[in-house]
Chains A and B, each alone.
Chain A
Amino acid sequence: GEDVEQSLFLSVREGDSSVINCTYTDSSSTYLYWYKQEPGAGLQLLTYIFSNMDMKQDQRLTVLLNKKDKHLSLRIADTQTGDSAIYFCAERDSNTGKLIFGQGTTLQVKP
């Protein structure tokens, strides 16, 4: 089946940029997504990118998509302590239409 991989942990200093990386296997995915989960809460959709795009920017968030390498990244500029959370990458399985999630990357922001 399709698979999505993420590194499990990232630690940055407040004010630095954070880059969270993700690789996926379904080359026919139409949409790729980033979700944020704060402690004790559900997932919050941060942004998503259509597969015919290379980049999408939304305020402090920049998503880069490299279809050739099946690599997706989320850059958070000027990272704040409120950005501390688990970030999930997900792809839309082109066969089933279902969302396939990565394991999540825990972002720790140190003051």
Chain B
Amino acid sequence: DAGITQSPRHKVTETGTPVTLRCHQTENHRYMYWYRQDPGHGLRLIHYSYGVKDTDKGEVSDGYSVSRSKTEDFLLTLESATSSQTSVYFCAISWTAEVEAFFGQGTRLTVV
């Protein structure tokens, strides 16, 4: 398995609180992505990074921010969690822009 770890794996938080999810890789891949998976929607891209300190928005970026201060870590922050952000979040990594090659096991976030 590729060296990609998401933490935490499960989290329950209250509406209005800040939440940070972490994606850690040991593959030294350049590209890192955050997706959310919801029933009936497949996966949708939230933000991605193409290098340290280089990030860009995806399809559903509102309410989320990201940071990548070093190659191995990509953080996703919900500044003020809302119930609509209840979802399963997946991190992906790749050595090329053409293929999201490896996905983490996911973080199940519940906002109550």
- Give chain A's interface residues, CB within 8 Å of chain B: 4, 30-31, 33, 35, 40-45, 48, 88, 92, 97-99, 101-104
Known contacts A42-B104, A88-B42, then 19 further A-B pairs from the complex at CB < 8 Å, ordered by chain A residue: A4-B42, A30-B98, A31-B98, A33-B99, A35-B103, A40-B105, A41-B105, A42-B90, A42-B92, A42-B103, A42-B105, A43-B43, A43-B90, A48-B99, A88-B43, A92-B98, A98-B45, A101-B42, A101-B44
* Count of CB-CB pairs between chains A and B under 8 Å: 45
B90: which A residues are within 8 A, CB to CB?
42-43
**Interface residue tally on B, bucketed by range:** 20 to 34
B104: which A residues are within 8 A, CB to CB?
42
What is the minimal beta-carbon distance from B47 to any residue of chain A, in angstroms?
11
